[in-house]
Amino acid sequence: MKISIVYHSETGNTKKVADLIAEGAGLDGRVDVRTMSVDDIDEGFLEGSAAIVVGCPTHRGSFSWQMKKWIGTTRLKLAGKLGSVFATEAYIGGGADFAELELVAHLLVMGLLVYSAGAGRGQPFTHFGAVAIKDGDDAQKERARIFGQRVAEKAVELFGRG
C-alpha cells in the first residue's frame, strides 16, 4: 500500500505539515508513504498510490495558484483513489476551510473518493481536512498526525494492504 502526500509550500510551513501527515500515515510501519512537492512529483509512485493527500497554503482566502496549476493540469490517472486535503493559513479565519473545499472540488471532478474523517471518528475533528496556522501549534501538529493515520486506516480498509 502506497500513500502520496502532495504539497505546495512557499516558505516551508505546509511542507512541515505534510511531513506530520506522512508520519501519521506511516505509523503502523506497513504503509509506504512519500511526500512530494508539486514541483517534483514522483509520477510512478503517485499513480501507484491507493490514497493521495493534497495540501497547500491559503493565499488570499483561496488555495495557492501553484497547487491550482498542478491539480488543474495533471494528466496522471488518479480516479478511484482515496483523496484527502489539508491547508495552512496565517491566522484563524484566513480561508483555509475554503481552500480545502476548493481542493475537494478538484478531487471530486477527477473522480477520487474524498475522505476527511470529519467528525465521524470523534476528536480531534477534521471537518474538511487538517488545518494548521502556519506550521501549527502542538495540538495542530498532533491533529495533522492523527489525520494522516486516519486516512491510512481508511485506505487499508477500502483497498487492503496490496
Ligand X SMILES: Cc1cc2nc3c(=O)[nH]c(=O)nc-3n(C[C@H](O)[C@H](O)[C@H](O)COP(=O)(O)O)c2cc1C
Q: Could you tell me which residues are beta bridge partners of residue 137?
A: none
Nearer to ligand X, 121 or 134 (CB): 134
Number of residue whose CB is nearest ligand X: 94
Q: Name every residue whose Cβ is closer than 8 Å to that of residue 54 and which is 6 or more positions away in sequence.
A: 5, 6, 7, 67, 71, 83, 84, 85, 86, 103, 107
State whether residue 21 is helix, strand or coil. helix
The site string for ligand X over 13-52 (x = CB under 6 A, - otherwise) reads xxx-------------------------------------
Are 51 and 155 within 8 A, CB to CB?
yes
Are 154 and 120 within 8 A, CB to CB?
no
Indicate the helix (H) or strand (E) that contains 7. Answer: strand 2-7
> How many helices, marked H, and strands, marked E, lie in the chain?
5, 7
Among positions 34, 121, 134, 141, the unique one binding ligand X when judged by CB under 6 A: 134
Among positions 60, 69, 77, 161, the unique one binding ligand X when judged by CB under 6 A: 60
Is 66 one of the binding residues for ligand X (CB under 6 A)? Answer: no
Q: Let me know how long the chain is.
A: 162
Is 65 one of the binding residues for ligand X (CB under 6 A)? Answer: no
Region from 86-94, 120-128, 142-150, 152-160 binding ligand X, contact rule CB under 6 A? 86-94
Among positions 76, 91, 118, 158, the unique one binding ligand X when judged by CB under 6 A: 91
Distance CA 89, CA 97 (A): 9
Is 95 one of the binding residues for ligand X (CB under 6 A)? Answer: yes
In the chain, the amino acid numbered 99 is A
Is 90 one of the binding residues for ligand X (CB under 6 A)? Answer: yes
Is 136 one of the binding residues for ligand X (CB under 6 A)? Answer: no
**Least CB distance to ligand X at residue 17 (A):** 8
Write out the residues near ligand X by the rule CB under 6 A: 9-15, 57-61, 88-91, 94-95, 134
